[in-house]
Structure formats: C-alpha cells, structure tokens
Amino acid sequence: MRRVACVFAHPDDDTFGAAASLALHADEELELTVVLATSGEAGQIADPSLATRENLGPVREAEDAASWAALGLEPDLRFLRHPDGGLPALRETLVATVREILRETRPELVVTFGPDGVTGHDDHVAIGEAATEAFHAEREAAGFRRLLHQAIPTGELERMNELLRERGLEPMDPTQPFMPRGVPDDTIGVRVDGSSVYERKLEAIRSHKTQSELEDLPSDLWPEILSTESFVIAWPPREPGGPVLGDVFEGLPAS
C-alpha cells in the first residue's frame, strides 16, 4: 500500500501537478488524499452554460472529482473551502489544518508547491509554505519519507518558449503574473515520464471544463507540456546535480 497526500490551492492544480505521476500507479494499492485549500470560485468561467459566479466553487469541486475518475483514481478529496485568493492571510489556519490531515492519513509521500508556486500565484505560494511547515512539524512522529515540490525546470520552459517562437507566438514571460516560472535544472530530483498515461491526463484536464486551460496553446504542443512531471525533493535533503529519480516512489521502501 502506497500512501500519498497532495496539497494544493485550487481544483486543477492537482491535475496539472501530479496526475500523470499517480496515474502510473492506478493499478496498484494507492491510498490518495487530495487537499484543496480553495474551491477556485474566483477562477474563469469559459462557458456561461457551465457555471455562474455564485456556483462556480461547487462546480469546480465536481470537475476535480471527475478529473481523478478520468485518471482511474478515487482519492479522498478534502475541500477546505477557504476564499480563493485569500490564502496568504490564513497561514496559521492552513498549517494547523494540514498538520491534522497529515497526522490522520500518515502519507509516506507529500506533494505540494515550492517557494515559486510554479506560477507565482500568491495562493500557490501560501499553501506550499503551509504544507511544507506542516510536513516538517509532523515528519518524525508520523514517519513521512519524502516531500516533493512541483516544479518546472528552466531548460524545459526555455524549450517551450522556443517552440512557441517557431510558431510565431508570444513566449511565456515568467516575470508576469500567473505565468510559469522555472527552477534550475540541477535542482530537479524527480522527473516522471508520463507519456504512457498522456491521454488520461489530457482527459483529466478537460474535465475542468470551466477553465479551458490549454486552449491558448497549440494542440500539437500539449504532449510536450503534459507528458513529463518534475519535482524538487524538498526532503530528505538532496544535493543539486544528484541522481534524478524516474518515479515519485523510487527509492522508498515498500509499505
């Protein structure tokens, strides 16, 4: 039995961040807890027939459940329902709640955002900091084995921007709000090839119908974007440039 907790800010953060890595283990015994601090009620509504501003939160919760079903997984979904956009002001509350959940579920692996929040979104940064603090506060007592921070290698981001330029499109600017930010390539400790579950991850992302996240990018680039997931090993300590693991569980003892 593998036990995992994913701690993110909004519905679809989990899908983009760890869907392929976990779908690769969908046929195994996997006890998965997904904590989402908000219900994404401040997000976009791509089609007015899908939701209203008043019910977007519940709609996005249902979309998130559908996305995991598309991956062949049935997580224990914990929606904390804090205000979308309001997480930075809730640091102590977030830490306390995540500590309680981690103490209850005792995952061997915890996945969350790193200091950059991948896109610099304040909610991403806040929940990543809170989850990281909660992990370390409970680590020894609960026997946690690994903390991963979702990340994008700078080299991968540069390659994607080059592909966009070749198509006459504007590159992604990491200095702008909500745009992807890269981390040094040698800090990546886990790089998962999810090409074998690409179609499932794409279906999972399309389950977030209100968001239409990929529509601004050429469809021929979607496999390039979605087939690989990368992580910084935030704990235990890893020297930059060390061996890069190919699976989120690689090197962990069997439970």
| Stronger pLDDT, 22 or 1, i.e. the higher one | 22
pLDDT tens for each residue of 202-240: 999 999 999 987 888 889 999 989 999 999 999 999 988
Model pLDDT for residues 118-162, shown as the tens digit of each residue: 999 999 999 999 999 999 999 998 899 999 999 999 999 999 999
d(CA 91, CA 104): 20
Between CA 32 and CA 18 the distance in angstroms is: 12
Euclidean distance between CA atoms 55 and 69, whole angstroms: 22
Enumerate residues 6+ apart whose C-beta is below 8 A from 80. Answer: 35, 36, 37, 38, 94, 97
Which helix (H) or strand (E) element contains residue 106?
none
Mean pLDDT across 227-254:
94
Please say if the pLDDT value at position 185 is more than 70.
yes
DSSP 241: T
In this prediction, residue 2 carries a pLDDT of 96
| Exposure letters 55-86 (e unless 16+ CB within 10 A, then b) | ebbebbbebbbebbebbebebebbbbebebbe
- Please check whether the domain covering 2-235 is classified as CATH 3.40.50.10320: yes
Hey, CA dihedral for 232, 27, 69, 226, is it positive or negative? positive
Tens of pLDDT along 3-35? 999 999 999 999 999 999 999 999 999 999 999
Residue 177's pLDDT band (boundaries 50, 70, 90)?
confident
Non-local CB neighbours of 221 within 8 Å, separated by 6+ positions: 160, 163, 164
Sorted by sequence, the CB contacts under 8 Å of residue 109 that are 6+ apart come out as 2, 3, 4, 5, 144, 145, 146, 147, 148, 248, 249, 252
In tens, the pLDDT along 77-91 reads 999 999 999 999 999
By the 8 A CB rule, do 181 and 156 touch?
A: no
Specify the pLDDT at position 39: 98
Q: Please, are residues 197 and 23 in contact by the beta-carbon 8 Å criterion?
A: yes
Query: Can you give the residue ranges of every domain in the chain?
Result: 2-235
Residue 190 confidence (pLDDT): 98
Model confidence at 255: pLDDT above 80: no
Mean pLDDT score across all residues of the chain: 95
